[in-house]
Structure 1
Amino acid sequence: MKWRTQHIAAMVVLLLAGCTSTGQTNGPSSQGAAAPPAQQASAPAQLKSPSELPKNLFYTNPVIKRGADPGVFRASDGKYYAYPTGGGGFRGNSSSDLVQWKDEGQVLKAADTFGDKNFWAPQVLEYKGKFYMFYSAGKGEGKLHINVAVADSPKGPFKDMLKEPLLNYEYSTIDPYVLIDDNGKIYMYYSNNLLPEGDKKVSSINVVELNEDMSSIKSGPITVAKPEQSWEMQSGNNRWNEGAFVLKHDGTYYLMFSANCYCNRNYSVGYATSKSPTGPFVKYKDNPIMSAEHTKVSGPGHHSIIPSPDGKEWWIMYHTHIDVKKGGGDRQLNIDRIGFRSDGSIYVNGPTITGQMRPSGTTGKWKNIAGDAKVSVSSTKQGFTEKALNDGEIGLYRRFDKYDWVANNETAGAWAQLTWPTQRVVKSVLIYESASGLRALQTGKIILDDGTEIKDIEFPTEPGAAAIVNLAERKVKSIKVVIEKALTNETGLSEIVVIGE
């Protein structure tokens, strides 16, 4: 990691020892409450690298060191299965927590399919006791086509249901995604692969309805998305909408997709919405929602969405380039949180490359308790809200900084406080800066309700990185985060995560 030039390389982890909480609450200074005398932690502040973060609480990307275009789902056995793009077939991976993955070996062999090369972007789903794999492949010098294979287990062996491809068009088709709607109807979304349009070649996303046999088409195709927004035009005369994934939330269909060439750093994720699975879809005005905004990340895209083990969070698995300068086809698989704002728009807490809290349901008794706290602040600039501090969204993109908390005409001394009705045991605190570089921080401090102060907390600059403070299972009723030094004339924070019980 690289701190700003005035800082040394490391993630901030401050260890507190030998300080006993008195249970006294230190209320917001704006309310005139008298604060008890400040106490310094008896142990000196210590810095630790991400590799030293407790593995039962934190993870760091990538979670699979080589792979691309992951098709991921959670099977009825409770495990997650991920299938990346292959060579002569596909390999599978399994996990119980989305963080640690086991290679399950070859799950589909080329000999059991119509194709012999370019096995791309599989999706597997469970339906009526069987497991269906939709994928694209080529044969000889021919084009890529989508077919479907079936197995009795998510570990395979999968074998083609048809001797000829399911989509046997005269042009190439790639990136299938199958949605089983609430009414039982089955839709398959896919992309054609660079069809000529004037002086350009364009990949558009289409949808067909499948029959219940999962191996024949009932109706379609209908085009539902094609490159039309400015962020999708960064690959010259070749333009893509591909890697479709459809998520239904509160009666709205979210068609998520990737645009630009997978080989370049500007490969990114956006989405469109509709009240019907076949459209018309309207693209989100602030696309893309995940992109490479930092020199240490390249090409985030082609993803799947899955729930956390306890079903309380949504997660995105996606690929990035292993070599951020070279780009190309060597990619790795990452996970990060996503969520829905109150206005229905999607946010993505990624791409990240530093320690983040593990998925909910995988950390035992520990969870993020920030949402249980009352938030108070020293001030709030008009157009912003303190509710942003525990809404789940971390700051990664300047274009979304309206979802941060920003102090009103304050820099040093601005503060935000989380207060619980009763004492809580806290393991760690993660403090995230504002998404905007116009509000960059240098140092801050934490004040606990017993008056303990943890000073000189430094803020890392990697995308989505948090300053992490280890409270070593302290009992607290309130935690106040105070800005000590700011690098700009305005300040704020995007999120405070509190790992406690």
Structure 2
Amino acid sequence: MQTLKKEQIQMRDPFVLRHEPEGCYYLYGSTDPDIWKSKGIGFDVYRSKDLEHWEGPFPAFRPEANFWSDKNYWAPEVHAYSGKYYMFATFKTDGVCRGTQVLIADHPLGPFVPHSDGPVTPRDWECLDGTLYVDGQGEPWMIFCHEWVQIVNGTICAIRLSPGLDKAIGQPIELFAARDAAWVEPVKNGLGYVTDGPFVHRCADGTLLLLWSSFRGGRYAQAIARSANGEIDGHWEHLPEPIYESDGGHGMIFRTFGGELLLALHTPNKTPLERAVFLPLVEQDGRLKLAE
């Protein structure tokens, strides 16, 4: 198995799982060479002890012949939950709305297999980028995007999940829309406003933050929203400026074994140049900023 620097790995939507039992990190992402046009291959995963040298790729997911989706294999996240590993990933096929499905495995390397019966996002919504969130009562939710391609002003929504994470319960709630943030600018000559890549971070003081991405000045940007009541059903306050706007986004936050807080995102936002980067963060008084 080869060892690569992350700069050698083409990847969008990077997601890092810190795996305590092995003392290593697993790196997932959208790893098909062209996620926009080519037939979906699957998701690869890489493994590292130091976040610099990565073993791989390992085939984390490959679809069976009867799998419902054949394209747009996007944004896999893997969460340890109740003794298993759950992958939340986006899929699409012609005539079927894009959506996030839940897959399951016994180990971070996989192989991941379908767990939910197709997408757990609403079947008549174009959706993407589902992420797991467990609320203060220990109840699981999925936070996801309702796409601008269907509703023009994209939104970020949440829906309760079953205890087994295999289906949605009840109706989705809207957290906020892209245009709620003053910094967001339209794409495609004004056709719509993008919401991408939600990820929840709970600060040490209990503040709940939500990372998400959109566009400004034609470039992909990473932003942060803040819950006024510390839960997902509260009012979300938008910081006036993105935390990162150098044509990168779809981020997540993880803590190293040494205790350092890092923001993972991809940049530039152009195929096949996209690469994962890890940026040190400073957390203070319920806020985050890039370390100087």
TM-score by length of 1: 0.51
Runs of 4+ aligned residues of structure 1 deviating over 3 Å after TM superposition are 61-65, 327-330
Mapped pair 1:138 → 2:92: yes
Mapped pair 1:103 → 2:22: no
CA deviation string 1:400-430 (max 9, x = no partner) = xxxxxxxxxxxxxxxxxxxxxxxxxxxxxxx
C-alpha separation in 1, matches of 2:45 and 2:282: 27
Structure 2 residue aligned with 1:92: 45
C-alpha separation in 2, matches of 1:280 and 1:183: 15
Over the residues paired in the alignment, what is the CA RMSD in angstroms? 2.2
CA distance 1:175–1:83, change in 2 (3 Å): same
Instruction: Report which of the two has the higher share of strand.
Output: 2
CA distance 1:345–1:149, change in 2 (3 Å): same
CA distance 1:344–1:166, change in 2 (3 Å): closer
C-alpha separation in 2, matches of 1:66 and 1:90: 12
What's the secondary structure of 1:238's corresponding residue? coil
Structure 2 residue aligned with 1:372: none
Shift of 1:329: 5.6
Mapped pair 1:217 → 2:159: no
Alignment of 1:73-472 (within 5 A): 73-77=17-21, 78-85=23-30, 86=32, 87-111=40-64, 113-197=67-151, 201-228=152-179, 229-235=181-187, 236-249=190-203, 250-260=205-215, 266-274=219-227, 275-292=229-246, 299-311=247-259, 313-321=260-268, 327-328=270-271, 330-341=273-284, 343-348=285-290, 393-394=291-292
Shift of 1:248: 0.7
Residue segments in structure 1 that go unaligned for 5+ positions in a row: 1-60, 293-298, 349-392, 395-501
TM-score by length of 2: 0.85
C-alpha separation in 2, matches of 1:302 and 1:117: 19
Identity %: 25
CA distance 1:96–1:183, change in 2 (3 Å): farther
Shift of 1:339: 1.6
C-alpha separation in 2, matches of 1:162 and 1:62: 31
Structure 2 residue aligned with 1:66: 10
What's the secondary structure of 1:69's corresponding residue? strand
CA distance 1:259–1:281, change in 2 (3 Å): farther
CA deviation string 1:25-70 (max 9, x = no partner) = xxxxxxxxxxxxxxxxxxxxxxxxxxxxxxxxxxxx9545310011
Shift of 1:202: 2.3
Alignment of 1:465-484 (within 5 A): none
C-alpha separation in 1, matches of 2:215 and 2:272: 14
Q: Is the 8 A contact 2:149 2:192 kept in 1?
A: no
Shift of 1:80: 1.4
Residue segments in structure 2 that go unaligned for 5+ positions in a row: 33-39
Shift of 1:206: 0.4
Q: Is the 8 A contact 1:63 1:99 kept in 2?
A: no
Shift of 1:286: 2.9
CA distance 1:232–1:328, change in 2 (3 Å): farther
CA distance 1:285–1:151, change in 2 (3 Å): closer
Residues paired across the two proteins, number: 273
CA distance 1:196–1:91, change in 2 (3 Å): closer
Structure 2 residue aligned with 1:415: none
Q: Is the 8 A contact 1:234 1:266 kept in 2?
A: no
Which residue identity is paired with 1:95?
S
CA distance 1:62–1:75, change in 2 (3 Å): closer
CA distance 1:239–1:108, change in 2 (3 Å): same
Which residue identity is paired with 1:165?
P
CA deviation string 1:259-285 (max 9, x = no partner) = 128xx8621111111124323243333
C-alpha separation in 2, matches of 1:98 and 1:281: 36
Shift of 1:99: 2.0
What's the secondary structure of 1:144's corresponding residue? strand
Shift of 1:215: 0.8
Q: Is the 8 A contact 1:97 1:309 kept in 2?
A: no
